[in-house]
Amino acid sequence: MGCRTGFYLILSGDYKSKDIVDLLIEMYKFIANFEGDVPGAAARDCGNYLDMNLPMAKYIANKFLNEVLLNVNEKNLNYPEN
């Protein structure tokens, strides 16, 4: 499975969406505030290493954090019924 297939959060147990909001907030804060070298951002580690853009990743993480995660409501926690 390549890195462009997405990112996965695997949990064991019976969780509702709202149960993991704090975990997601912590994760997105980590990304938004990350400093240093991006893990795997070298030719020997990743065939698409030139696509890695830390400033843009931080921008998008901060945007999602502020626009969605810090303002979570039922619409964000459940798939639509129809």
In tens, the pLDDT along 17-76 reads 999 999 999 999 999 999 998 888 889 988 888 888 899 999 999 999 999 999 999 888
Q: How do the domains of the chain map onto residue ranges?
A: 3-76
Q: Between the CA of residue 1 and those of 4, 5, 6, 7, 8, what are the distances in Å?
A: 8, 7, 9, 11, 11
Choose among 8, 16, 12, 11: nearest CA to 72.
Answer: 16
